[in-house]
């Protein structure tokens, strides 16, 4: 997975470098979405598409349109009998979905079925194999599953673009990520990969803080049987939501929840160790000297050893909880991380001073209209 992501990152960075025009903005979201789509297509289907492939670009746009629509929380989502009033909306979703299905059938499924030499160890092969071996699995089911998994790239692309918008508004946070990325990638200036996550806790903390601030709604669940939750009766068939916004913005759980503070997801292990050590009385000078030497060594490696991500926060559930937790959360974290880290390592990013950056809580989905930003190559890299 890391190899797939890094390979696509290298192509994305080269594309961005050649597309930059001095003094002119770049439609960054389009490039990010196409890169994310290719990561998922390669991971699921062992194929990638050129960024200039018009049909591919169109399908990526349809996925983005659908992701935006399903995150709007229309009344019909909760009151199905309102469907006649949303006929135009439903027709658009059906049209986009049919074009996506046509693309996947023609460019992936049919080619895979007609070419036995293609890879047989990826997600697509597993689905096709289940179709042949399990009579309860229909062709429509496996195609829907493939569409659903590939569609997850839209969540990654929108999250990455949302992170970048937060970083434009908080340049000091962006600078900290760049310093962290530089320390990890030097001296060879290699591509940052999945295995660098633990070495870049500030970057991961920033991603988590964007997830907290955005408070995207958790996919609803349905009670499969009558049950009780804290004394409240929940009947079978009831739609159940986690109040994600309240969890992420509740002052009982977070200090200054209205503020963007990535550090809230970090713990300083050096400070914790120092606090414990300060309670001990050192009676011999040799012990004091050893302690000072150890302290200096830890300070020298503060970024890599002193800071760690806080784990197991019981009230932070960006990917839901239980058996129905987001199955693609590792892809979201992994691909999102390498995109943010490598883009920030290569570029300073700014926004048109005459435009307002509008960030609304309640969703990671961004409007499908073009989002223009200025990319400036960092002198530290080039």
Quick one: CA dihedral 314, 318, 323, 328, positive or negative? negative
The arrangement of secondary structure in 2-191+320-377, i.e. its CATH architecture, is Orthogonal Bundle (1.10)
Residue that is written with structure tokens 């890879």 in the block: 119
**What is the structure's pLDDT at 359?**
77
Q: Return the pLDDT at 354.
A: 59
Q: Is 326 annotated as a binding residue?
A: yes
Give pLDDT, residue 269: 61
Name residues whose C-beta falls within 8 Å of residue 119's C-beta, 6 or more positions apart in sequence: 46, 125
The number of angstroms, rounded, from the C-alpha of 34 to the middle of its chain's C-alpha atoms is: 14
What does the pLDDT read at residue 294? 39
Nearest residue to 49 via CA among 65, 60, 63: 60
pTM: 0.86
Q: What is the pLDDT of residue 101?
A: 96
In this prediction, residue 265 carries a pLDDT of 96
At residue 97, the pLDDT reads 96
Q: Which of 326, 313, 202, 312 is nearest to 253 (CA)?
A: 313
Given a cut of 70, the residues of the chain with pLDDT beneath it are: 116-120, 269-305, 353-357, 382
Eight-class DSSP state of 167? H
């Amino acid at each position: 997975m890391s190899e797939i992501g890094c390979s696509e990152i290298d192509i994305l960075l080269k594309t961005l470098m050649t597309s930059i025009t001095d003094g002119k903005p770049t439609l960054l979201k389009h490039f990010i979405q196409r890169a994310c789509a290719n990561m998922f297509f390669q991971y699921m289907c062992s194929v990638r598409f050129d960024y200039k492939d018009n049909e591919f670009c169109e399908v990526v746009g349809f996925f983005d349109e659908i992701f935006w629509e399903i995150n709007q929380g229309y009344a019909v989502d909760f009151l199905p009998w309102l469907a006649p009033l949303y006929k135009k909306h439903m027709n658009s979703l059906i049209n986009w979905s049919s074009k996506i299905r046509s693309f996947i059938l023609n460019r992936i499924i049919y080619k895979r079925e007609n070419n036995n030499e293609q890879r047989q160890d990826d997600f697509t092969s597993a689905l096709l194999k289940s179709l042949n071996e399990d009579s309860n699995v229909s062709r429509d089911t496996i195609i829907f599953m493939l569409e659903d998994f590939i569609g997850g790239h839209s969540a990654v692309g929108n999250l990455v673009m949302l992170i970048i918008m937060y970083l434009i508004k908080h340049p000091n946070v962006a600078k900290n990520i760049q310093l962290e990325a530089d320390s990890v990638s030097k001296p060879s200036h290699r591509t940052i990969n999945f295995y660098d996550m633990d070495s870049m806790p500030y970057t991961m903390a920033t991603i988590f803080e964007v997830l907290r601030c955005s408070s995207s709604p958790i996919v609803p669940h349905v009670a499969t049987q009558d049950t009780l939750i804290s004394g409240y009766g929940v009947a079978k068939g009831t739609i159940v939501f986690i109040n994600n916004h309240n969890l992420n913005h509740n002052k009982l759980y977070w200090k200054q929840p209205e503020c963007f503070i990535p550090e809230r997801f970090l713990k300083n292990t050096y400070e914790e160790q120092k606090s414990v050590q300060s309670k001990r009385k050192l009676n011999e000078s040799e012990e004091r000297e050893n302690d000072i030497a150890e302290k200096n060594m830890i300070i020298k490696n503060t970024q890599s050893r002193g800071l760690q991500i806080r784990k197991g926060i019981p009230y932070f559930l960006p990917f839901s909880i239980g058996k129905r937790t987001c199955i693609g959360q590792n892809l979201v974290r992994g691909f999102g991380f390498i995109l943010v880290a490598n883009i920030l390592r290569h570029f300073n990013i700014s926004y048109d001073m005459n435009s307002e950056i509008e960030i609304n809580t309640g969703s990671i989905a961004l409007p499908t209209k073009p989002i223009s930003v200025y990319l400036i190559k960092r002198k530290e890299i080039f």
